[in-house]
Amino acid sequence: MPVARSGRPKAAVIPDAGEIKYLVLTDRAAPYLLARVRWPDVAQAITVGSPDWLDDPGLFDLPYHPGAVQVSFAQAASVAAGWGRQLSAEVAGGVPSFIRRMPANWSDLSPVERRAYGLESVGRRRVSPRRLRRLRSSQANIDAFVPAAAPASRQAAAFAGGGPRPDVDGLTANGRSQAAGLTSGLGSVATERRLEVRVPVDGRVHLRWGRATISAGLVDLSERGFQCVLPEAPPVLAPGAPLDGPFVLEAEVTTSRICLGVGGRIRWNRSIRAGTHFGVVFGKLADAETEGVQRFLVAASSKRGSR
């Protein structure tokens, strides 16, 4: 039975200082453009197809674009790392400039603009229904595997977005039972049945907490939420606590990353010897974001199975 390994990030909370804004544009939640903007002197961007910084005055319009997602420096660094670029707090100097039509229209880039940014291939195929059915079938088999000798753990199991649930096994990310001491902190919250596929994912999640970014080990993910682990969770990450978002999730064995521009809340938490596990439920995802999560799950699942 595959279980996710629980990472233990050394630096869990990263302050977000500085005046520069970092923004991403996404295609089905997958980032394809990362910009840093500070009026009136900084307007630079890299993309999935061109990881070299480009000066572009049209980027001054990007913070006002409804599809742009503002991220922290740590989240932006994760996106850049997926493209093989190490993000520095220092602004690059002497980079080429792009002279474009004005005003910029980030919803409908011209062929010239797409070529300048190396974005000709952006706009990938949708998730194959066959691959998605195969993923759901395999994960349904995993969730159906409940050891007969562990009825107590079935009563105590909890997962991101679902809370305590009496009909699944209580295995943690390291394979131990969660039979005792689960703290939901919500008291009167009714037990929910988790309908979404739950996929073990080795990776990290970068979530916002005020002006800081919390980087945690990703344990599992569904279309509704995720479970993650920290060596020690800040007190603010208590059950019921709201999170503003966005969420940036990365898979360890692939270059897959998604950026979900929604908020969420802490659903439950529990401290064990390996760290503090907590579950996060997303706010309402747009259809494109849901498809992005599906693509991420398919990629993460296929890579895990091939190792």
pTM as predicted = 0.76
What is the per-residue pLDDT for 204?
Answer: 95
| Domain 130-306 classification at class level | mainly beta
pLDDT at 122: 81
- C-beta separation of 163 from 209 below 8 A: no
Which of 207, 171, 137, 240 has the alpha carbon at shortest distance from 6? 171
> Within 13 Å and on the Cβ side, how many CA atoms surround 133?
3
What gap in Å lies between CA 178 and CA 96, rounded to an integer? 55
Mean pLDDT in order along the chain per 10 residues (307 residues): 44 75 97 96 95 94 96 96 91 86 87 92 59 55 39 32 33 32 34 61 92 93 95 86 95 90 94 89 96 91 60
Task: Judge contact between 194 and 222, C-beta under 8 A.
Answer: yes
DSSP single-letter state for residue 173: T
**Residue ranges per domain, the chain?**
13-116, 130-306
